[in-house]
């Protein structure tokens, strides 16, 4: 079963990507290091970036 990237919304192929679990039990799935860094390290909002599917939904 393919998962969706928490940041950009793209489908993650089985056997690829990264699963990040926070101390409170929240699970994040990332398709690439670009998505992981934008969300966790830089704290960015995916709705503000044209390359994410969440941006396209709002317009």
Contact (CB, 8 A) for 8 and 51: yes
Q: What is the pLDDT of residues 22-37, one digit of tens each?
A: 999 999 999 999 999 9
CATH number of the domain encompassing residue 31: 2.30.170.20
pLDDT of 58 above 90 = no
Q: What is the pTM of this model?
A: 0.85
CA distance 1 to 3: 6
Residue range 46-59: mean pLDDT, rounded: 80
pLDDT of residue 15: 93
Range of the domain at 22: 3-51
Query: Could you tell me if residue 58 is inside a domain?
Result: no
Residue range 47-53: mean pLDDT, rounded: 90
In this structure, how many other beta carbons lie within 10 angstroms of the beta carbon of residue 52?
A: 20
Residue range 10-17: mean pLDDT, rounded: 94
pLDDT of residue 17: 95
Count up the domains in the chain and report the number.
1
């Amino acid at each position: 079963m393919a998962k969706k990237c928490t940041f950009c919304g793209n489908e993650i192929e089985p056997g690829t990507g990264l699963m990040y679990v926070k101390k409170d039990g929240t699970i994040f799935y990332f398709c690439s290091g670009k998505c992981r860094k934008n969300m966790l390290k830089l704290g960015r909002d995916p709705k503000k970036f044209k390359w994410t599917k969440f941006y396209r939904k709002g317009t």
